[in-house]
Homo-oligomer: A and B are copies of this chain.
Amino acid sequence: MAKYHEISTELIKEIVDGKYKERGKLPTEKELSLHFNTSRNTIRSAINLLTDEGYVYKVQGSGIYLRPVNFDESTNLNLIKGFSSEHQEETSKIKILDLEIIQATAEIAEELNCKIGEPLYYLKRVRFVDDEPVRVERSYYRQEIVPYLGKEIARESIYNYLTQNLKLQIGFADRKIQADYLSKDDAQLLGLAENDPALIVNEKIYLANGQIVILGEGVLHFKKISLFSSAKNFD
């Protein structure tokens, strides 16, 4: 890892840990270069990376300010991991409701760019934080790409399993976000009433080679989960 990349990783850790929260800004480039015992140019590269990733922004002549980022990977739409990531809350738990091999219906095959009848893992789980249900997830995985998916894996971060164990290279993710009436089933799972508002995310996570590795839907508890997104100017 290049030096500036190491420094940016260290700074992200400090930002997430809340070290700069009170001041709302990072130390100056000069202070950082003394602290990390490196050149101003290296510090500048590290800051540029943090800027690109949405953690900070520079105000000329005034400093490097923290952005109001959300660090929960499961609700930050700019991050790719999505529902497959671990919650950062230590009090987060997963309950698996269904995990089985099914055959792709015409509708699912169309979404997954796969053949009708192809074997898929179907996973339905509920995520709890502080013992309260916050999200119902339904997801599909082609067995051709994910040969094995067991409950011991589905209880943890599937993203880590895909990247670290199966060595799959993730490319990008597309998500659609909607509101709708909550179904009776999902209402029961979330401790809400039928027809309450539901925040719904449909996601496709692609491998770098263009194949879809996860097709998923998340139904979120509208009082407990917000999503975050940031965009920067390309002009």
Contact = CB atoms under 8 A, between A and B. Distances in A.
Contacts of A80: 231-234
Nearest to A63: B210
Contacts of A54: 172
Contacts of A68: 174, 204
Interface in A64-123: 65, 67-69, 77-80
**Which of A57, A197, A199 has the most chain B CB atoms closer than 10 A to its own CB?**
A197
Contacts of A163: 235
Interface residues of A, number: 50
Contact of A176 (B57, B67, B178, B228): B228
Contact of A229 (B59, B177, B232, B234): B177
A67 B235 CA distance: 21
Nearest to A62: B210
Given A171-B233, A175-B228, A226-B178, A209 B53 contact: no
Contact of A179 (B198, B229, B235): B198
A6 to B, nearest CB: 15
A197 B179 contact: yes
A155 to B, nearest CB: 23
Contacts of A226: 176-178
A60 interface: yes
A227 interface: yes
A36 interface: no
Contacts of A233: 80, 169-172, 208
The 3 closest A-B pairs by CB, nearest first: A197-B197, A179-B199, A59-B210
Interface of A: 53-54, 57-60, 62, 65, 67-69, 77-80, 163, 169-181, 196-199, 204, 206, 208-210, 220, 222, 226-235
